[in-house]
Amino acid sequence: MMSLRTGARRLSTLTALSLTVFPGLTLAEQQSEQPDQAEQTAAPASTSDNGDRANVPLVPDTPTWDSFHGQLNAQKYSPLDQINVDNVGQLEKVWEVHTGDISDGSGDTPATVWSATPVVANDTLYIGTPFYKLIAYNPATGEEKWRFDTQSSREALTQPVLKNRGVAYWEADDPIEGESCQKIVYMGTMDAQLFAIDADTGKPCQGFADNGVLNVDQWNNVNSKFPLSLLQPPTIVGDHVIFGWAGKDWAYQEAPPGTVFSINARTGEREWEFEALSDEMRRKSGTANVWTHMSADEQNGLIYLPVSSPSPNFWGGNRTEKAPLATSTTALDVDTGEVVWSRQWVHHDIWDYDINAAPTLMDITVDGEEIPALVQATKMGFLFVVNRLTGEDVWPIEERPVPQGDGSVEGEVYAPTQPFPTKPAPLLDQSKKPEVWALADAVGFGQCSRLWDELTYEGMYTPPTTRGEGALAYPDSAGGVQWGGVAFDPESQTAIVNTSHIVQTVKLYNREDYDKADSGSGNESGFAPQEGAPYGMRLEVADNWLGMPCWEPPFGEIVAIDMHTGDIKWRKPVGASQQFGFFMPERWGSPTIGGPAVTAGGVIFIGASMDAKVRAYSLETGEKLWEDQTQAPVVANPSVYEYDGRQYVAFVAGGNTILKDQVGDQIAVYALPEDNE
């Protein structure tokens, strides 16, 4: 087993792939910024721990929805076709449950944000709740089999709300009959505890860590301002349980540095760890963590990390040296944690452009050549497409000059260029200020026009400023694309992604001005101190006094991309925005959180919108085929599964206060009427 600290130190993978891995840097510059200088070439990942790995297909042979994105490839694809474009309009709700774990934040308990994708394995549907309970249901009826309560504190330690994105499932290759914990469900908590629960009985696995609980915070030993919250379920590859952590956004200059851990599935023993920042930057900065799910290519022994930005998020004068693994997609050898390749998508990130979704792995044919590819969706509305084995461009990714600020922010050093994909085209036009929405401007008596005049904008990557009302960010922290990521139909080689069109304003304040201006914050908006830095900040949605967006609709779309060519096949507004109980026209679309699933029946399923509806669309045309109302916005990806010969689609209607103040505790499951199957 490798040294526990070698993951980041192995990034001297800078020979034949050097200029591809870190575009825009010379080889000498790349080598000079690494933690050590030991030469190493990019090599295929080890398969020493799994002799059968070469036989694992990228797309499972049987219908599978046993992880956060359905499968480790993050395609969110099901080969089931019982439900198809001809009959999906007949879908009916066949069962629903309410977990009881819900809070609107009006009492002593913080509001709940529930983004859990149901995991279906072992003839059971498993879910985690924002009160950190793990529940097992019969997938056909919703009858509860068991539940386990972690007894975790209901305190919002690192987030403004209570959050849970679900559970992870593992089972032994050769289960020992009569032995417990041959199948395990894992769930983390906000206070950094990882629980391993017997998937059959709901009882803790006594052989795992400390009687079934691993205290991950024992490894929080640099700038430990907050616990390493485990809100996202681990990624399970073979016997490796791999996870990052979530922290407190925008709060500190110095914060816990981003570390990814691999532990043994049975024992909880730490196997390796990966660090995205150099030792020097770890001490004076922090984060660059992985807070969302990962994807993996089991056949080639690679796990893909979507890495976030360093701290503080909107000022980088404390971290002016290059940090090429921050805001990146980084491929590791799953057995050792060694870096195989990495691509940085934002240099010197001062916009909180975390890579927030697992890259989607796919085999595509471009100009007659079969390519093992991945697509990395981003908050910027870019889709970067590279060879998943080498990190090389599929279509050219160009380094282009970007704005260099207005001189108002002391100590900042801006990256001269940023990567721009040539294909697919950006999901939204960031080249100029979005047009003011005349309706919102009229209702606001010119408020939106006045705001636009006070906002700096020089195109994509306009830096934060202290002047006027700040900089216009389109998009900024809200995305673009959120953690739902890209779905992919391997038959037609069509990628599906939903995107938000949101304008935000970001302004920096020196310490004296910040203390006067600070009027509090909400969920991913408002004022934040960036304690220790010379500047606090404010991030807000650009709207009028009535809460109407100041920019023209649509506010969200679903987009289909032909991955043979990188061209858009179709794009449609998705969902409907909602304010004060009124639904806006669907042609205006809705901001979206959560992603799509796609099936061999030619159907796309998605929730994600403000209006708390779930919908089905035609993969071929984008036509809406079906919809139903749920308790709250579905901000998790749906699950598509088969049980006893019947196909089901499951949605978690949990809500997210980023979209609107409507929360839920509903699992809603749909199928065709039995006489129509």
State the average pLDDT over residues 331-337: 98
- Measured from the Cβ of residue 421, the count of other Cβ atoms closer than 10 Å reads 24
Q: Are 354 and 309 in contact (CB under 8 A)?
A: yes
Q: Report how far residue 613's alpha carbon sits from residue 607's, in angstroms, rounded to the nearest whole number.
A: 6
| Burial of 207 per CB tally in 10 Å (0-12, 13-18, 19+) | middle
Task: Give pLDDT, residue 522.
Answer: 64
* pLDDT at position 111 over 80: yes
What b/e string do you get for 429-441 counting C-beta neighbours within 10 Å, with b at 16 or more? Answer: ebeebbebbeebb
Question: What confidence tens digit (pLDDT) does each residue in 270-302 have?
Answer: 999 999 999 999 999 999 999 999 999 999 999
Q: Are 376 and 355 in contact (CB under 8 A)?
A: yes
Token readout for 670 is 């749909």
State the average pLDDT over residues 481-495: 97
- CATH number, domain 77-671: 2.140.10.10
Q: Are 116 and 636 in contact (CB under 8 A)?
A: yes
Task: Give pLDDT, residue 13.
Answer: 33
Cα distances (Å, whole numbers) of residue 216 to 66, 80, 205, 307, 419: 24, 38, 17, 19, 35
| Count of all residues that appear for the chain in the document | 677
State the average pLDDT over residues 167-182: 94
Helix (H, G, I), strand (E, B) or coil at 237: strand
Q: Are 298 and 56 in contact (CB under 8 A)?
A: yes
The upper half-sphere exposure of residue 47, i.e. CA atoms within 13 Å in the direction of its Cβ, equals 11
* pLDDT at position 467 over 90: yes
What b/e string do you get for 532-541 counting C-beta neighbours within 10 Å, with b at 16 or more? Answer: bbbbbbbbbb
State the average pLDDT over residues 590-619: 97
Cα distances (Å, whole numbers) of residue 527 to 293, 502, 517, 638: 28, 18, 8, 33
Question: What confidence tens digit (pLDDT) does each residue in 390-422 have?
Answer: 999 999 999 999 999 999 999 999 999 999 999
Selected residue with higher pLDDT from 53 and 617? 617
- Measured from the Cβ of residue 587, the count of other Cβ atoms closer than 10 Å reads 10
- Measured from the Cβ of residue 264, the count of other Cβ atoms closer than 10 Å reads 14
At position 63, the amino acid (one-letter code) is P
- Measured from the Cβ of residue 582, the count of other Cβ atoms closer than 10 Å reads 8
* pLDDT at position 59 over 90: yes
In this prediction, residue 580 has a pLDDT band, given cuts at 50, 70 and 90, of low
Q: Report how far residue 286's alpha carbon sits from residue 372's, in angstroms, rounded to the nearest whole number.
A: 33
DSSP 438-473: HHHHHHTTTHHHHHHHTSB--STTPPPBSSTT-EEE
In this prediction, residue 317 has a pLDDT band, given cuts at 50, 70 and 90, of very high
Cα distances (Å, whole numbers) of residue 163 to 69, 112, 129, 526: 18, 6, 8, 19
Calculate the CA 214 to chain-centre distance: 24
In this prediction, residue 20 has a pLDDT band, given cuts at 50, 70 and 90, of very low
Q: With CA atoms as reference, report the closest residue to 112 among 135, 99, 97, 129.
A: 129
State the average pLDDT over residues 590-602: 96
Q: Report how far residue 203's alpha carbon sits from residue 499's, in angstroms, rounded to the nearest whole number.
A: 40
In this prediction, residue 584 has a pLDDT band, given cuts at 50, 70 and 90, of confident
Going by the DSSP 8-state scheme, the letter that residue 55 receives in this structure is G
Q: What's the sign of the alpha-carbon dihedral 419, 424, 426, 431?
A: positive
Selected residue with higher pLDDT from 3 and 212? 212
In this prediction, residue 523 has a pLDDT band, given cuts at 50, 70 and 90, of low
Q: What values do phi and psi take at 514, rounded to 5? A: -65, -45
Q: Report how far residue 494's alpha carbon sits from residue 480's, in angstroms, rounded to the nearest whole number.
A: 19
CA angle 472, 503, 431 (to 5 degrees): 65
Q: Are 656 and 633 in contact (CB under 8 A)?
A: yes
* pLDDT at position 81 over 80: yes
Q: Are 132 and 180 in contact (CB under 8 A)?
A: no
What b/e string do you get for 488-500 counting C-beta neighbours within 10 Å, with b at 16 or more? Answer: bbbebbbbbbbbb
Token readout for 271 is 């196997």
State the average pLDDT over residues 614-640: 97
92-98 vs 183-188, strand pairing mode: unpaired
Share of the chain above pLDDT 90, in %: 85
- Omega before 554 within 30 of 0, i.e. cis: yes
- Measured from the Cβ of residue 61, the count of other Cβ atoms closer than 10 Å reads 8
- Measured from the Cβ of residue 417, the count of other Cβ atoms closer than 10 Å reads 15
Q: Report how far residue 313's alpha carbon sits from residue 285's, in angstroms, rounded to the nearest whole number.
A: 10
124-128 vs 133-137, strand pairing mode: antiparallel
Question: What confidence tens digit (pLDDT) does each residue in 178-233 have?
Answer: 899 999 999 999 999 999 999 999 999 999 999 999 999 999 999 999 999 999 99
* pLDDT at position 627 over 80: yes
Cα distances (Å, whole numbers) of residue 275 to 28, 206, 310, 332, 587: 22, 30, 12, 11, 44
Q: Report how far residue 406's alpha carbon sits from residue 393's, in angstroms, rounded to the nearest whole number.
A: 33
Positions marked active-site: 352
Q: Which helix (H) or strand (E) holds 283?
A: helix 279-284
The beta strand positions in 350-415, using DSSP E, are: 360-366, 369-377, 383-387, 397-401
Q: Report how far residue 73's alpha carbon sits from residue 301's, in angstroms, rounded to the nearest whole number.
A: 12
State the average pLDDT over residues 169-174: 95
Calculate the CA 441 to chain-centre distance: 33
Question: What confidence tens digit (pLDDT) does each residue in 363-374 have?
Answer: 999 999 999 999
State the average pLDDT over residues 311-336: 97
Q: Mean pLDDT over all residues of the chain?
A: 91
* pLDDT at position 675 over 90: no
* pLDDT at position 487 over 90: yes
Instruction: Please report which residue ranges of 483-581 form alpha helices under DSSP H.
Output: 511-517
Kindly report the pTM of this predicted structure.
0.93
Q: Report how far residue 134's alpha carbon sits from residue 194's, in angstroms, rounded to the nearest whole number.
A: 12
Give every CB contact of residue 129 below 8 A, 6+ residues apart in sequence.
99, 101, 114, 116, 135, 164, 665
